[in-house]
Chain A
Amino acid sequence: MTNHWVDIKNTDLVLIMGGNAAEAHPCGFKWVTEAKAHRKARLVVVDPRFTRSAAVSDYYAPIRAGSDIAFLGGVINYLLTHDKIHHEYVKNYTDSSFLVKDEFSFENGLFSGYDPEKRSYDRSSWGYQIGEDGYARVDPTLQHPRCVFQLMKAHYSRYTPEMVSTVCGTPQAAFLKVCETIAETSAADKTMTIMYALGWTQHSVGSQMIRTGAMVQLLLGNIGAPGGGMNALRGHSNIQGLTDLGLLSDLLPGYLTLPRDAEQNFGAYIDKRASKPLRPGQLSYWQNYNKFHVSLMKAWFGDAASAENNWCYDWLPKMDKGYDLLQVFEDMGQGKVNGYVCQGFNPLGSAPCKVKVSNSLSKLKFLVIVDPLATETSEFWQNHGEYNDVDPTKIQTEVFRLPSTCFAEEDGSLINSGRWMQWHWKGAEPPGDAKGDQEIMAGIFLRIRALYQKEGGAFPDPILNLTWKHKVPSSPAPEELAREFSGKALKDVTDPKDPTRVLVKAGEQLNGFGELRDDGSTSCGCWIFSGAWSEKGNLMARRDNADPFGIGQTLNWAFAWPANRRILYNRASCDPSGKPYDPARKLIAWDAGAGKWTGADVPDFVADSAPENGMNPFIMNPEGVARFFAVDKMAEGPFPEHYEPFETPLAANPLSPGNPMVRSSPAARVFKDDWATFGKADKFPFVATTYRLTEHFHFWTKHARLNAITQPEQFVEIGEELAKAKGIKAGDHVRVKSNRGHIVAVAVVTKRIMSLNVNGKRTHTVGIPLHWGFMGLAKNGYLTNTLTPFVGDGNTQTPEFKAFLVDVEKV
């Protein structure tokens, strides 16, 4: 979230799209209720199902699963054609005035630079025109035909209300009603918040759906404002933390990135990431990349990391391509992977296309499971009848199952969706011989290290030199690890403006990332967390819920990264002169007398940079402003374009009907053998989408008795029209089939799933809750991912769980 849960109370309008907070994030949704009750805020829900969020909304519009870019593109078109935008914000705080290279173009559903063989783009034309002064060229009048504003306007002019209705199945009147409501927040003192979740991420164009939402918010001036923002309702309790800590194939902690093969030169690796400002007077904070990176290497490799060896640059693995979950399962299926460790992850249920995942796991030599619960993955080799029909004697994988503690049995911090790092305390011992995850990692690592010490082996240096300064090496303490990622001074850190002034003494914890240095004098395991554990102590454990400004920011409750800032980009809640756009909801403001920014939140800005200096609010971007034009950052193109899901009821993309190449995303990676596993609408005519129920959390709660009682048995939801056509009554058992497998479940026949007219055809949706499996206390059921296709988003490779094709029949 750019903002956070409590801040939702400051909004005027909530748009829930691609999520269902009332059901999946109930105690956070409470703040929507609060805004409705106390600010007269309204709630608009756009969803394929009339969800529990929709049930308490002021307005609900149905949409076909997978068509959100068409809908939001239509909203952009509406805002631009009706001139319902926040002009000052758009002009000053976005790249609307930037001129785009002449070579950039969009035609027939494709942007310039497409290579059909590689299914990817040469992105070199996707950039700004750079003037002789080295800065991007701009036209502040926004009239130049090559400026971002005009290009954007032209791009989305095709997303007419008629087109939206054709693609999404949303009745035109409903679409326009949503547009009108959203448009009201273009007023400078009105804000809208967008709350989304996996309903946007789990598509082959999921990242672009989110971008389109962000573009709407920028047009309305709603980013940085209290009650505004783009608010990702993350799934797991610490999925935010693990993302921040970079536990993804291509990342390092704090959104630093691993080098590619070609990046053999350390200096060039840093320079590429330390972007220089693209406009005069801008901060471009990533210019400090070297400080973050060197401090990380000092945290990991200690004295072994020195300027002479480029801070152990060569010790980091380099990437020839991405090795995301889908790529790894593809490789595993081809026999290229021997070992796999699943720490609290149940890929048999969570990765797409269960049959493929199961076959891949069966090719492993060894699998190590670390979990508090008996997961399906840990028994992928066991025959569980119809739900897991395998022959154990044919599966040669050695499997270890190691019991770990759960939350209640350990100290540590988790990061909620609002970026709050919250410390928690151990309340009991784990059952039996279970051990904490840190102890288990240490147990394995220290033995490997001992083997390398004894026997030598392949490139042992990083293993032998990894810092491991723990009182009990076999059981690193959470406090020690938290202090390590927060960072400390290795030598005295001095003020760059006055070198005689010592800011932090050697050995002390740092106050924040402003104190990081690139000369090896600081160590910090995750720069964005810096200051979470300072000399003041563990700030994540703070419990003062005082809200002195009455605007819900509670700065002394826990610690929010970065720098305890609660609302990102909050400088943009003020006009260029530093006055809040809505004085009644003042977050921060320029205090000319004091010569600094002050207020209810930690300013997301250089604290003493006066408005007249002309520094813009989006300090992480080299532009200094937010981007409508994504330059070369997105696989599918700089402007989001609607592409159909890989399994679609439509024969062509209505936006570019003549080009078969762009029916679905032309830039999504599809493995060779997977094309044949995609189903077609003639055999699988219905759109399926998966989701959560409020009583369950993924595949865990079926192990908890109360949850198993409240939702004991697998079901699917179908609309009345489809049920009638198929002769299905509520309570019947139905078989839902995709081209990859089938599940059997009880049918819930409901008005909540409507049939829609899409592209002139009646289109039905099947809703599939995802919580059952063959382990647990609930009635056994099928893993939902038996049905889903093995294809992911072109940028993140997040699987397309939210839109695929099925057939339904009564059994």
Chain B
Amino acid sequence: MQVTRRQFFRICAAGVGSSSLAALGFAPGEALAEVRTFKLAQATETRNTCPYCSVGCGLLMYSLGDKSKNTETAIFHIEGDPDHPVNRGTLCPKGAALVDFVRSPNRLKHPEYRAPGSKEWKRISWDDAFDRIARLLKDDRDKNFIATNDKGETVNRWLTTGVLAASAASNETGYVTHKVVRSMGILGFDNQARV
């Protein structure tokens, strides 16, 4: 589709967002650059990488709000980082739709609790959740911790609780998770690399 700059603005005025038109490849280069300047000049740009596959494409995320106190930031657009040596600005259909993951209606917003036998979730505060989980974990550990095996060898392990970690989590999360899990003696511990 070939459009002139003037036609391009007419199409925009007809109610289609300029950035989605650009994403579809309909914008002439010049107009594209101009419109984006207008739109993104107000936005804060943050560099990130795609959380899906291991290509690790570089991203530019655009948000409203300048991250100052009392403002709320909201990401409204994500595109490929043209400086990135691997993806050089491109994204695949997954990366190109990332803003819909960030803003998915199915994002969890509050801690929830489901009681034994119940058919529903109930809201719970973070404090109550942490207290209750810590209690359950400690009681289970105290009751089932194995300090020595049948042969009297020191083994210091806890087998009745397990942990699965996330291979889309950052190294920093992975590191602190590993540290905590092993300090308790847990062996039933894996991440998606296992599957």
Contact = CB atoms under 8 A, between A and B. Distances in A.
B186 A317 contact: yes
A345 B80 CA distance: 26
Contacts of B110: 403, 432-433
Interface string B130-141: 111111111011
Interface string A370-404: 11111000000111000000001111111111111
A239 B93 contact: no
Contacts of A236: 52-54, 167-168, 192
Contact of B162 (A31, A341, A374, A396): A341
A554 B59 CA distance: 18
Contact of A323 (B87, B121, B189): B189
B185 A462 contact: yes
Given A431-B107, A431-B109, A247 B190 contact: yes
Contacts of A238: 54, 167-171, 174
Contacts of B160: 336-339
A199 to B, nearest CB: 14
Interface stretch (B4-12, B28-36, B97-105): B97-105
5 interchain residue pairs of minimum CB distance: A344-B166, A432-B109, A416-B56, A412-B170, A403-B108
A340 interface: yes
B19 interface: no
B91 A343 contact: no
Interface string A505-527: 00000000000000000000110
A393 B119 contact: yes
B179 interface: yes
Contact of A406 (B102, B138, B157): B102
B82 to A, nearest CB: 10
Given A444-B137, A775-B106, A476 B176 contact: yes
Nearest to A31: B86
A809 interface: no
Contacts of A59: none
Given A253-B178, A437-B169, A463 B184 contact: yes
A5 interface: yes
B124 to A, nearest CB: 8
B168 A398 contact: no
A317 B163 CA distance: 15
B27 interface: no
B176 to A, nearest CB: 5
Contacts of A55: none
A328 B164 CA distance: 10
A773 B14 CA distance: 37
B147 A459 contact: yes
Nearest to A413: B171
B41 interface: no
18 contacts: A31-B86, A235-B53, A237-B56, A238-B168, A240-B54, A249-B190, A317-B157, A344-B166, A374-B108, A381-B114, A403-B107, A414-B168, A424-B49, A451-B138, A462-B182, A554-B85, A704-B104, A777-B104
Contacts, number: 486
Contacts of A398: 113-116, 136
A408 B136 CA distance: 32
A323 B129 contact: no
Interface string B77-89: 0101001111110
Nearest to A481: B172
Contacts of A383: 119
A117 interface: no
A314 B173 CA distance: 25
B137 to A, nearest CB: 6
A293 to B, nearest CB: 13
Interface in B124-161: 124, 126, 129-138, 140-142, 144-145, 147, 149, 151, 153-161
Given A339-B161, A397-B116, A525 B184 contact: no
- A242, A382, A416: which has the most chain B beta carbons within 10 Å? A242
Contacts of A401: 108, 111-114, 121
Contacts of B74: 428
A172 interface: no
A427 B170 contact: no
A463 B158 CA distance: 13
Nearest to A259: B155
B56 A458 contact: no
Given A239-B193, A459-B185, A697-B94, A557 B111 contact: no
A427 B114 contact: no
Contact of A703 (B52, B104, B119): B104
Contacts of A6: 85-86
Contacts of A314: 154, 156
A368 interface: yes
Nearest to B45: A427
Contacts of B42: none
B93 A695 contact: yes
A338 B55 contact: no
Given A264-B153, A408-B102, A433 B126 contact: yes
Interface string A8-39: 00000000000000001111101100000000
B43 to A, nearest CB: 10
- B105, B113, B168: which has the most chain A beta carbons within 10 Å? B168
Contacts of A28: 53-55, 86
Interface stretch (A178-186, A568-576, A662-670, A796-804): A796-804
B178 A246 contact: yes
A244 B163 CA distance: 17
A467 to B, nearest CB: 8
Contact of A318 (B72, B83, B87, B157): B157
B52 A324 contact: no
Contacts of A395: 116-117
Given A402-B111, A414-B51, A703 B106 contact: yes
Contacts of B166: 242, 343-345, 370, 437
Interface string A689-724: 000001111001101111100100000000000000
Contact of A700 (B101, B121, B136, B162): B101
A222 to B, nearest CB: 21
A239 B108 CA distance: 23
Contacts of B134: 444, 447-448, 450-451
B153 A707 contact: no
A458 B147 contact: yes
B18 interface: no
Given A234-B54, A447-B131, A410 B170 contact: yes
B78 to A, nearest CB: 8
B141 A457 contact: yes
Interface string A234-269: 111111111111111100110000100110100000
B182 A316 contact: yes
B171 A444 contact: no
A25 B192 CA distance: 17
Given A261-B149, A478-B170, A340 B162 contact: yes
Nearest to B93: A695
Given A242-B167, A247-B189, A444-B180, 17 more contacts: A264-B154, A315-B156, A324-B194, A338-B160, A351-B195, A408-B46, A414-B51, A428-B75, A448-B137, A458-B142, A476-B176, A482-B171, A547-B85, A557-B85, A701-B101, A705-B100, A798-B194
A707 B107 contact: no
Interface in A439-463: 441-445, 447-448, 450-452, 455, 457-459, 462-463
- B93, B98, B171, B179: which has the most chain A beta carbons within 10 Å? B171
Nearest to B106: A703
A316 B116 CA distance: 34
Contacts of B157: 317-319
Contacts of B70: none
A259 to B, nearest CB: 9
Contact of B54 (A233, A337, A429, A482): A233
Contact of B175 (A315, A319, A485, A798): A485
Given A237-B53, A707-B100, A373 B108 contact: yes
